[in-house]
Structure 1
């Protein structure tokens, strides 16, 4: 039996490079690798940010090759965006867009001729001079795309009165501790043009042999940490069964992500050396999720909207 008695469920997995000893952490423009010192001392690195891990967890639910949800969650609603000038042409969905239901592609589409700005406004019950009703809004989101309740959505457009925001119920991050730099380099070789001549194209056009350097890292420990906020999900008043379903979907995402391995970048391929304690097995999660989808009558066909383009 899967217990959800805790207000927050916390899990930790220990990782190591799948090839060699080095890895490439996430990098930010004008900053580079996010290096920091913990209060207890020692150099550490942010290997994968909270926002990036949210994207990777969400991706476990989507079949990129088939452009549809994976079998386990295909019965749950979501918004598919097709091109208005060619209704058979699939463009994107609320499961793929960074802002989910608040995406510009969803917002600027129409459902049966009605603008989605109005559809979402009316379903959320956004009325002038009226407090935001989060349980009502959560029920509406449940019928549009329940994964927005797990990964968050911010209805920031001025037409959506009150600009309601649903924060993430699942968060994750990967950090490396006791880190050391690994300096290396290479050379981009040009086997055709051996000599650069002014006016005939140089390195800025991609010609010539160009040496380069790179910085990778080693670490004493690489740790992935996950938190599922069960209390936040309960606060939406969706009932015990639906709350359990959402929490178990979050646990399934964690289990699936770790089972697949974490190939974060070309030079950052990580494997699990120690799985989280108390995290239910995938088969157990899938069996219970299937029961709850049926019992809670949440399943429905995708909602297809037409984008103005």
Structure 2
């Protein structure tokens, strides 16, 4: 089986759902937010208790993390050859990269240091946008050359010297995880100090009991949305469109296969992955997608869509 791109040519969105469940036991720990804790809410029927297990922002980060091989400081094997920006420290040691950095290309380690390589590259490519409307197609083409992943993840280049800080590209691939009909599984514990049980807890001494809320739910679902209309609107051509779709499917499959240990007490597994739109499209297995990626990358390179060299290296100096 290969990736059937033709089955998607008339669709505005590729929508997918994955049924998840705890890999052991029944409890799971959701993401928490400052001053809020777990994000519980009432469903549209007015009665069902819902829970946000993983936010869109977090899923976006996790979809990137599964693409990166930390030991080799490079893309995972099927993705090697994709353009990106690497940042080293003054000793030449790896510091961060545009795949993992907060705000991606807008990372201060890329744009705010003394090394202005990427800043000047963006300035040169996008200089004509200082006045008038932002040309999203040109912005997408520039990102495709420098940091292909950013075309899917989206960017906000909030620098006044770059088109007045107006360079924004919406996220093309998004996802989140929800649980339905949730119930609290209350528990707790104690931090034990066998040396000084009654010591000053504000300084880290003493026994400190605590409460802990986890959850159970009969249904946990991961949702993924690939905006095909947006990708086509960039006008990058068929080679770019196929690469971006393939990269999106790679991310989703690898996240569901390898990235579902979200927290210590939230280790999930995928029971089923299905397409809800369009009808008739079937998501290929991981091996099929992995085998297809090198060819898709080189097709985009042959179409002149990438920088040469494909890896831009920046040295971060304050």
- Superposition TM-score, scaled by structure 2 size: 0.89
Match of 1:29 in 2: 34
CA contact (8 A) 1:126 1:132 kept: no
Q: Which residue of 2 aligns with 1:146?
A: 148
Residue in structure 2 matching 1:289, options 290, 293, 298: 293
Unaligned runs of 5+ in 1: none
C-alpha deviation, 1:115, in angstroms:
5.0
Give 2:255's aligned residue.
Answer: 257
1:42 to 36, 41, 48: 48
| Superposition TM-score, scaled by structure 1 size | 0.92
Q: 1:261 to 1:78 in 2, by over 3 A?
A: closer
Contact 2:80 2:294 in 1 (8 A): no
Q: Secondary structure at the match of 1:148?
A: helix
The aligned counterpart of 2:103 is 99
- What aligned pairs does 1:79-228 form with structure 2 within 5 A after superposition? 79-83=85-89, 85-86=90-91, 88-109=92-113, 114-162=116-164, 163-194=166-197, 196=198, 201-228=199-226
Aligned residues: 300
Coordinate RMSD, CA, aligned: 1.7
Give me the whole-angstrom Cα distance separating, in 2, the residues matched to 1:284 and 1:45: 34
Q: Distance in 2 between matches of 1:275 and 1:141?
A: 30
Show structure 1 runs of 4+ deviating over 4 A. none
Q: From the superposition, tell whether residues 34 and 94 of structure 1 become closer, same or farther in structure 2 (CA, over 3 Å).
A: same
In the alignment, does 2:251 pair up with 1:247? no
- Asked if the contact 2:187/2:211 (under 8 Å) is kept, the reply is yes
Tell me, yes or no, if the aligned pair for 1:81 and 1:109 is still in contact at 8 Å: no
Could you tell me how far apart the structure 2 residues matched to 1:257 and 1:115 are? Answer: 32
Q: Is the contact between residue 152 and residue 168 of structure 1 (CA under 8 Å) also seen in structure 2?
A: yes
Deviation at 1:95, TM superposition (A): 0.8
Q: Distance in 2 between matches of 1:127 and 1:37?
A: 44
CA offset at residue 132 of structure 1?
1.9
Q: Deviation at 1:261?
A: 4.9
Q: Distance in 2 between matches of 1:134 and 1:187?
A: 54
> Hey, what's the Cα distance between the residues in 2 that align with 1:110 and 1:150?
28
Question: How far apart, in 2, do the equivalents of 1:270 and 1:282 lie?
Answer: 18
Tell me the CA shift for residue 10 of structure 1. Answer: 0.7
